[in-house]
Amino acid sequence: MSVRYLTAKLAQQIDEQLMSAAGAFSLDQLMELAGLACAQTLAKVYSKEKYPRVLVCCGPGNQGGDGLVAARHLGMFGYQPTIWMPKPGSKDIYKRLKTQCDNMKIQTLAPTEETHSLRDALASSDVILDAIFGFSFKPPVRAPFDAALPLLSASGLPIVSVDIPSGWDVEEGNAEGVGLNPDVLISLTAPKEGVRQFTRRHFLGGRFVPKLMEEQFALNLPEYPGFDQIVELPQAKESGPQKL
């Protein structure tokens, strides 16, 4: 059986159950494992020898927390990450994750003149890690991200998106046409309905999902190889004119 793709409602339900008494995970644990999977995905596809400078774009929610964890691990892996985070999360966990990055001497772009600093950062980067919006995102894209997404798209840099490409609806995909079109996607826990037709390299990171929960929700997750935190999923075939 193929892996199950999740609706927004089901993805939220699984997240809540993971952090309930039944799942017994803390948000810190899940972010740490998710961020590690994101960093491993980028490192697998884009070597630090050819793509050392990573621009990690973080939103104010849990997606941004995953990005901060990934930035720290990428620094540990020998990359040179830079963080763009125009709207830092206000919760204590984000402040702690940011301090961990500061302690790794990872640069964070100054919060002033965001568009200008983002342009400069893009000019001196080799690859983008997109951790802006997660599966709870609903259009439209609001400031300052409405101006940022076109800059990221126009940069010509390869993009690795976390869980769902920023600007995409979790179920409808890039129906509005304003989202990023990444080269690589790392879905977390299980892939979401909106990326069912994603035709580029697609990885899954969610080795934290307990067997009981996998069976309860009939996720049909693939086996992770060895000690890897990620597994590559089959690529969807591009739809086109049918041959007669």
Residue 62, annotated ligand binder?
A: yes
Residue 134, annotated ligand binder?
A: yes
Residue 228, annotated ligand binder?
A: no
Residue 64, annotated ligand binder?
A: yes
Residue 135, annotated ligand binder?
A: yes
Residue 20, annotated ligand binder?
A: no
Residue 50, annotated ligand binder?
A: no
Residue 128 vs residues 46, 152, 160, 212: alpha-carbon distances, Å:
10, 8, 6, 35
Cα-Cα-Cα-Cα dihedral sign, residues 208, 59, 101, 125: positive
Residue 130, annotated ligand binder?
A: yes
Residue 136, annotated ligand binder?
A: yes
Q: Is 197 exposed, middle or buried (0-12, 13-18, 19+ CB in 10 A)?
A: exposed
Residue 65, annotated ligand binder?
A: yes
Q: Binding site for K(+): what residues are annotated?
A: 63, 130, 166
Q: Binding site: what residues are annotated?
A: 62-66, 130, 134-140, 163, 166
Q: Binding site for (6S)-NADPHX: what residues are annotated?
A: 62-66, 134-140, 163
